[in-house]
Amino acid sequence: MAHCFVTRRLPGDAVERLAHRHSVDVWTERIPPTPEQLRSRACEAEGLLCLLTDRIDAGLLDGCQRLRAISNLAVGCDNVDLAAARARGIAVGYTPDVLTETTADLAFALIMAAARRLPEAIRAVHAGEWLTWEPDWLLGHDVHGSTLGIVGRGRIGEAVARRADGFGMTVLHSSRSSGVPLPDLLERSDFVSLHVPLTTETRHLIGAAELSAMKPTAFLVNTARGAIVDQAALERALRENVIAGAALDVTDPEPLPPSHPLLSAPNLIVLPHVGSATHATRERMAGLAVDNVLAALAGEPMPHEFPA
């Protein structure tokens, strides 16, 4: 029996399955453990099930000499120093191919919400501003028949494109190996939806120049990673009406402090990274993460080991 540290409460029965085979310590607070708390709780662990909010770097790994398995409850491993883990013979797993449709649902919901000014309309009702039916009040933009530009047409981007087909949208895409050049996509699209991984090449992929290339009536949607967008440039673009609006499920950092200047920008929707937040999807993610830990601690290959 090995000892495992799980850095947050998980939905479903995943932790119970892990506890049936190993001793389990679960961090039960809503706020993530600090680096010091993470090191203290993980130092004796052989298995670590963590989140994107947990920084797993070489310094942490140096203090976790018994660690044999890291399982990240995410579709990526941006927070894990993969080279440091592999140098120490630690298997690293993730939870791919499970949140595609759920995240695509949210991306399209953000397109609809931004285009039709739904947050503003909801606030108006609660503020008592709904006085009568007014022909020129809260006018938004049509989604049907418009042009959607998908940046990075992997699984999630492809799923968003299928939804766009049902709305009669013209779909463009730009990726490393296919599609139209990014400047062309930005110039032609009414909605730009980001679906690329965060790498050194995609960090701040959308900056001031890219925002200026968009139509002044266009909307930017990001359900990928916050750092893909230069947030300072986005704030300026919203305040100066360079684009019509933006809808974000991801930010840099996460969470954004309530005083962050971006949050006061006009025509902006920000959600707390809920792209995969349905009962079914999060339970499946937790199950995959536990499967990775169980396999590695049994001396077997992780079913979902992060690719080299």
Instruction: Using alpha carbons, select from 205, 275, 267 the residue that is nearest to residue 242.
Output: 267
Dihedrals φ, ψ of 114, to 5°?
Answer: -70, -45
What span, in angstroms and rounded, lies between the C-alpha atoms of 248 and 196? 14
The stretches of the chain forming alpha helices (DSSP H) are 14-21, 35-42, 58-62, 82-87, 100-115, 118-126, 155-166, 182-188, 208-213, 231-239, 279-297
101 catalytic per annotation: no
Instruction: Using alpha carbons, select from 247, 186, 232, 180 the residue that is nearest to residue 211.
Output: 186
**Beta strand extents in 10-110 (DSSP E only):** 23-26, 47-50, 69-72, 91-93
DSSP type of residue 132: S
Catalytic residue among 44, 187, 254, 283: 254
Encoded tokens for 280: 């079914």
225 catalytic per annotation: yes
Residue 156's CB is within 10 A of a number of other CB atoms, namely: 26
Catalytic residue among 163, 273, 282, 284: 273
3 catalytic per annotation: no
What span, in angstroms and rounded, lies between the C-alpha atoms of 219 and 216? 9
50 - beta bridge partners? 72
Catalytic residue among 8, 173, 195, 225: 225
Active site members: 225, 254, 273
